[in-house]
Each structure stands twice: as structure tokens, then as C-alpha cells.
């Protein structure tokens, strides 16, 4: 498997984990100065035609987004337990 293919497969798997996809696509739109519809249609829905030059930064943003949502989930769970007491 080529590095490009591995990178793209990693991006696909990470994107599946993003909970708020619309918000994430808006973030990418600002980051890469592209229309949200273009990113949504060309990068994620269909052919995964993500330019190689964006793979590294996109992977970083995906990882940070997933980490942030995991933190939010932990905080929400912690707050729920506090309110139960």
C-alpha cells in the first residue's frame, strides 16, 4: 500500500469519528480557503479527492478535533456524576 493510500485511509477512519461534521467542514473551509460545499462534496462524500498537499494538515485537524470532542465527553460525564450526588 502506498503512503498516499495509507494517508487517505487514515483520513477516512478519522473522519468517521468526527461527531459534528458540519462544524468541522466549516473549520476546513476557513483553514484551506475553500467553499464548504466543495470540501464536503469532493473531499468526503464520494471520491475522497483530497489534495495530497493537504493530507498532513487535515490529519492534524482531525486528530485535534477528535481529542477535543473526547475531552468534552469526559467533562460532560464528570459534570453529570457531580450533579447526581
Q: What's the rounded Cα separation, in Å, for the pair 22 and 1?
A: 31
How many residues in the chain? 85
* pLDDT for res 85: 41
Residues 31 and 61: beta-carbon distance below 8 Å = yes
pLDDT digits (tens, 9 = 90+) for 19-65: 999 999 999 999 999 999 999 999 999 788 999 999 999 999 999 99
* pLDDT for res 4: 80
Q: Between 72 and 36, where is the model more confident?
A: 36
Judged against a pLDDT cut of 70, whether residue 5 lies above it is answered with yes
* pLDDT for res 25: 98
pTM: 0.83
DSSP 8-class letter at 43: I
Amino acid at each position: 500500500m502506498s503512503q498516499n493510500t495509507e494517508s487517505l485511509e487514515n483520513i477516512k477512519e478519522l473522519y468517521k469519528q468526527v461527531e459534528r461534521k458540519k462544524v468541522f467542514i466549516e473549520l476546513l473551509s476557513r483553514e484551506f480557503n475553500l467553499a464548504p460545499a466543495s470540501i464536503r462534496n469532493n473531499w468526503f462524500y464520494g471520491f475522497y479527492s483530497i489534495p495530497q498537499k493537504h493530507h498532513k494538515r487535515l490529519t492534524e485537524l482531525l486528530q485535534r478535533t477528535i481529542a477535543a470532542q473526547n475531552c468534552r465527553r469526559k467533562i460532560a460525564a464528570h459534570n453529570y456524576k457531580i450533579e447526581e450526588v
